[in-house]
Amino acid sequence: MPNPCPAAPWNAFLKGISITVTLLLLGICLSVAVFVPSQTLPPLRIGVIAAPLLILLAAALFVVRSYALRDGTLHVRRLFWTTRVAIGGLREASIDPQAGAGSLRLFGNGGLFSFSGWFRNARLGRYRAFVTDWQQAVVLRTDGGVVVLSPADPAGFVRDLQASLVPKTARARRKR
């Protein structure tokens, strides 16, 4: 799967969280800027204005744009870089719209522009997520753990992934 597969469009839930949290953080900045006198502890005032903006910037940098699999590594394209996740020993790739159900975020982003990081639930155990729409989730079970992502075309992604994993000798036999 050398070509990148775009991430699923943001669902209403992710849009709602992102808009609500963005407005809340910008509201904090505006409120402090308007209602807290500028001579009142300037470093604290500046910090309270800057912190929400830094949170928004950090979350925006980690947005999930696309996925690709090359040489046993999942490449998750972010805003300005690619996160690489080793998925050697891939045992299963399946579509599971309920993958995130009942999940607890252990570390990462729980819905500001994406669901990214480490999560845990009863069905999958501990897993790493790079998701923009839980309804389009694809679960990859590897020797190293579980990875959940949400490509725009989950069925096509799984089909292409499985085709790329067919041993070269089996492909050579098919061509004969």
Domain ranges of the chain: 1-176
Which pLDDT value is given to residue 70? 86
Q: Where are the beta strands (DSSP E) in the chain?
A: 5-6, 66-70, 73-77, 82-86, 92-95, 104-110, 115-121, 125-131, 138-142, 145-149
Average model confidence (pLDDT) across the chain: 90
Average pLDDT (50-75) is: 94
Assess contact for 14 and 111: CB atoms under 8 A: yes
> Tokens for 63?
């947005």
pTM over 0.75: yes
- pLDDT band of 174, cuts 50, 70, 90: low
Assess contact for 115 and 134: CB atoms under 8 A: yes
